[in-house]
């Protein structure tokens, strides 16, 4: 097949180009460890370890014991003795200055420039021109229903009961607070008309008008 042959030829050319580039490649020199300024404690540590080696007991082999011994000895020094080692450290730093500081590193970073952003419009991306979901702006109250809007047309009227009613049947869910002190006879008179006193009668069902050939 021509397609398989062309893909094989391209793969062989890529392999040849890769080998040529690797033959010309020269790895950069390994950078030396960065030097740090010595402190008075560093100078005292070297001197105290040297004295331990020259003593009869020698340097203890237990792990961490040398640092513990030097630390305790450093705490017992007076301020004048500590200043002596600080001056020795300043002399050592003056003889061997630090080759590179933080400012030089920042300058090199500025010359290289910031890292380039990935091209989201590249054909290799699955969703071209679309922003990933985790990178989009936050969507607050996404699952909350919209707030209820108040209709000013119904603010002067008493609402009807929530569940449906049938014409001619009494409704026992709501009672007029002003009619609680009325007589028992008045209550039954209200039930005879299909509604309690103090509430308007419910509207007739829709089929009542449709059967008579009337429209709302």
> Per-residue DSSP letters for 53-102?
HHSSS----STTHHHHHHHHHHHTS-HHHHHHHHHHHHHHHHHS--S--H
Judge whether residue 12 has pLDDT over 80.
yes
Which residue has better confidence, 203 or 190?
203
Residue 88 has pLDDT above 70, yes or no: yes
> Are 176 and 197 contacting, i.e. CB atoms less than 8 angstroms apart?
yes
Return d(Cα 175, Cα 187) in angstroms, integer: 11
Please check the confidence at residue 146 and state whether its pLDDT lies above 60: no
Q: Taking Cα atoms as reference points, which of 152, 45, 133 lies closest to residue 89?
A: 45
- Give pLDDT tens digits for 91-110: 888 876 655 554 455 455 44
Classify the phi-psi angles of 115: left when phi > 0, otherwise alpha if psi is within -120 to 50, otherwise beta. Answer: beta
- Residues 14-32: what's their mean pLDDT? 83
């Amino acid at each position: 097949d021509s397609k398989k042959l062309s893909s094989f030829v391209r793969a062989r050319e890529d392999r040849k180009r890769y080998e040529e580039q690797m033959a010309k490649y020269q790895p950069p020199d390994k950078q030396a460890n960065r030097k740090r300024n010595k402190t008075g404690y560093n100078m005292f540590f070297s001197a105290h370890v040297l004295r331990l080696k020259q003593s009869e007991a020698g340097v203890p082999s237990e792990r961490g014991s040398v640092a513990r011994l030097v630390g305790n000895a450093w705490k017992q020094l007076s301020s004048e003795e500590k200043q002596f080692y600080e001056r020795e450290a300043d002399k050592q730093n003056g003889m061997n200055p630090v080759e590179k500081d933080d400012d030089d590193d920042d300058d090199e970073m500025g010359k290289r420039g910031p890292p380039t952003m990935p091209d989201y419009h590249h054909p290799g991306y699955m969703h071209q021109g679309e922003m990933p979901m985790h990178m989009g702006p936050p969507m607050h109250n996404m699952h909350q229903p919209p707030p209820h809007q108040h209709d000013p047309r119904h603010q002067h009227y008493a609402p009807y009961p929530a569940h449906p009613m049938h014409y001619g049947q009494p409704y026992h869910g709501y009672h007029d607070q002003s009619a609680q002190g009325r007589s028992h006879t008045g209550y039954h008179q209200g039930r005879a008309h299909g509604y309690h006193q103090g509430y308007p009668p419910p509207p007739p069902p829709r089929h009542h008008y449709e059967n008579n050939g009337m429209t709302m």
